[in-house]
Structure 1
C-alpha cells in the first residue's frame, strides 16, 4: 500500500487546511473589541465579561484530552467535521443577544476549536509527515491572519448593522456572525475528505491515550514548552497595553504597540514555512525565539522607552516558538495516534497555564503596584521554558527514542 505521508499535497487539502486554520482563532478574537458594547447591551458585570473572554481557554483546556479519544472512536475526518459543526453552531447561538446564548455559544465554539487544535498535528503526521513542519508553520500563519482579521472587521460591521437595521437587532450581534461563512465553507470543503474516509476500509488500530505519555520525558518536554509558551503569550496579550500605559505611553500608543506585538507573532511563519522543510536541526531556531522573548522582557525592565521594539521581539519569539512546539508534536511522535494524544496532553496543560497566567501576573501587579516583580517572575518562567524548548527541539538523531522514551 502506498504510504499516505509521502503522497503529494493536493490543492484541495491545502484549501481545507486554510479554512480550518481561519476558524481556529478568529471566532473568539473578534469578541474582545465588542466586549464593551456587549456588556452595556446585556448589562454584564465585570466578572461576567472576564469569564466570557476566558471561557474559550477553559474549553480548550478541559476538552483537549477528549478530542484524541473521540478521534480513535470516530476517526480523524469525522471528529474534525464535528469540531467544525460545533464552531458553526456556537457562532450562531452566541449571536442571539441573550446572556445564556452568549455563554453557551462561546463554550460550544471553544469546544469545536479545541477539537481542531488537537487533531491537526495527528492529521499532518498521518497524511503528510514529510511536510508536517512546513504545513504547521503555514496553518499557524493563516490562523494569525484570521485572528487579526477578526479583530479588525467586527467594529465596522457592528456600525454598519446599526445603521441599516436601526434598533431591531444589536449591531454587535450581527457583527459576531462574520465568521460563520468561514466555518460553513470549511465544513463544505472538508466533506469530500469525510466521504472518502467513510468509504475507505477501516483499519483496526490500537490507538493511544494520554496515560503512556505521562511516563515519557520527551512528551513532558514538549508539553511544558507549549504550556509555558501559552502562559507567557497570554500574560502579554492580557497585560502589555496596561504595562505600556504605566510606563508613560498614551492609551492610543499602548493599543498600537499591543496590536503590533500580536501581528509580529505571525511574522515567523512567513520565514518558517520554507525554512522548516530544509533545516534538520531546529534547535538553533528555538534558541533565537527563546532569546528574543528573554531580551524582550529584560528590555521592558531596563529600557522601557523602547517598548515598541521589545513588543516586536516578544511577538516574534512567542509566534516562532508556538510553531516549533506544534511541529515537535508531529516530528517527535511515532504514529498519528501518538501525535494526536500528545497534542491533547500538551494543549490541555498549555491552556490551563494560559488561563492562570494573567491572573497570577495581575495579582503580583495589584499587590506591588509596579511591574518589577511580575516581570522578574516572567524571566524565571522564560528560563524554564527555554530549557524545555531546547530539549524538546533536540534533533531526533541525537535522541535515543521519540515520545516513546520514558523518563
Structure 2
C-alpha cells in the first residue's frame, strides 16, 4: 500500500488529529472522501504481544526435535536417509512456502496470514507426536514449517506497516524473542521430557501449547485489519490494492541481502547441527557439549535486541557485518587449533557471530521504503537465502564422514565467512530497492 495511506501506532509525530465534522453550506464538502478512522488504542499493545509470541514459536519446532532426534528416529524406525531428509526439511520449507507470502499478504493482509501461520504451527505440533510413521511425522512437520515460513517473511512487514519509525527497536524485540525460543527449546526439551515420563512424544507435544497461545492475540488483530480493509474499500478515492513492488531481481542490494541471508543461515544450521559433535569428538562430555551449544544459542538473546537497535541508528550497517564475521573467524580458528582447551570461548564467539540473523532482518526493513517493498524483499531474501543454506550442513557431514575429522569441515565453515562479510558490506549500504529499480514509492 502507498506510504501515505499508512497510519502508525503510538507515534508522536503522526498526522494531527482530524477535527470533529461540522455542518457546511458547501454541498461539495459532503462529497469529499471521508477521512480514515484512527487505529483503536488496544491495537498497539496487542500487536507487540503478538509479535513476541510469534517470534518465540519460530524455532522450538526445530530445536526441540534436535534435542530428541535419536529417540524420535528410533521410535519411528527412520532410516538414515529419511533422518537426513528431515534435517534438511526446515530450510527447504522456508524457501518454498516463503515465496507464497507476498501473494497471500496482498490478498488477505499480513496480519491474517501471520494468524493462519501460527495456527498451522500449532496444528502441526499437535499432530506430530501422535504419528506412527516417518511419512506422517514428516507431513506434520512440513505443516508446522509452512506456518513458520510465512511468519518469518511477514514479521518484518508487520513491523514496517505498524511501527515504521521503530524498525530497529521492534526488530530487536522479536529477534530477542526468537533467540530466546531457540535456546529455551534446546535446553529445556530433554529435562521436560524426563519430567513427563521419558516419552519423546510428550516432550514434543509441550511446544504445541506455546504455539496455541501465540494464535490468540492475532485473532483480534486480523479482525481489525479486515474491518479496516473493508472500510477503506468503501471510501471514495482510496485504493486498498497493495503495490506489487519493484522487480526485486534487478536489485543488487536484494541479491546481496539474499546471499548474505543464505550464508548466515548456513552457519547457523551447521552450528546447531554439528557443534556438540565437534566438542564431543575433542573429548568434551556429552552433557557439557549440550551446555556449550545452549551457551552459543543464549548469546543471541541480548545481542538480538542490541544489534537491530544499533543498526537502525546507522546509515550503513556494513561495519556490524564485518565485526560479526570476524568473531566467527576467530571462533572457527579456535575450534581448529584447540577445540577442548578453549571450548567456552569458542562457543561464546560463535554465539556472537550467529547474530547476523537479527542484523539481516533489520536490513531487510531498512532497504525498502514501503511495506509493499518490504514484503517482496523479505520473501525474496529469505526464500533464496534458505535455498542457498540447504547444501551446507549436508556438505559438512559428508566432509566429516569422508575425512574422519573436523579439519576440512572447519576450514570450509571459516572460508564461507569471507564472502559473507563481503556481502554484508554490500547489503549494508544506504540505499533502497525502489531507488535501484527506478521505482517510485
Give the TM-score of the pair, scaled to structure 1. 0.89
Is the aligned partner of 1:362 residue 2:397? yes
Residue of structure 2 equivalent to 1:84:
118
Aligned to 2:318: 283
Q: Helix, strand or coil: the match of 1:266?
A: helix
Task: Note if 1:34 corresponds to 2:95.
Answer: no
CA-to-partner distance for each residue in 1:172-193, whole Å, 9 max, x for gaps?
Answer: 2222221222222222111111
- Distance in 2, matches of 1:329 and 1:342, equals 7
User: Which of 181, 184, 189 is the matching residue for 2:209?
Assistant: 181
> Which residue does the alignment assign to 1:143?
178
Query: In terms of Rg, which structure is larger?
Result: 2
Q: How does 1:3-18 map to 2 (within 5 A)?
A: 3-5=6-8, 7-8=10-11, 10-18=44-52
Which residue does the alignment assign to 1:207?
A: 243
Aligned 8 A contact 1:228 1:385 in 2: yes
Q: Which moved more, 1:144-153 or 1:287-296?
A: 144-153
CA distance in 1 between partners of 2:197 and 2:205 (Å) = 14
My pick for the range that moved more, 3-12 or 131-140, is 3-12
Match of residue 120, structure 1, among 139, 148, 155: 155
Q: How many aligned residue pairs are there?
A: 394
Is 232-241 or 107-116 further displaced after alignment? 232-241
Q: Distance in 1 between matches of 2:269 and 2:387?
A: 11
Structure 1 residue aligned with 2:53: 19
Q: How does 1:88-237 map to 2 (within 5 A)?
A: 88-99=122-133, 100-162=135-197, 171-200=199-228, 201-202=232-233, 203-208=239-244, 212-237=247-272
Q: What pairs up with 1:335-374 in 2 under 5 angstroms?
A: 335-374=370-409
Shift of 1:156: 3.4
- How far apart are the structure 1 equivalents of 2:217 and 2:403? 52
Distance 1:384 1:331 in 2: 22
Residue number among 390, 395, 403 corresponding to 2:425 in the alignment: 390
Q: Could you say which structure has the higher helix fraction?
A: 1
The question of whether the paired residues in 1 share the 8 Å contact of 2:169 and 2:309 is answered with yes
Distance 1:145-1:62 versus aligned 2 partners, 3 A rule: same
Contact 2:117 2:146 in 1 (8 A): yes
Unmatched runs of 5 consecutive residues or more in structure 2: 12-42, 234-238
| Unpaired runs of at least 5, structure 1 | 164-170
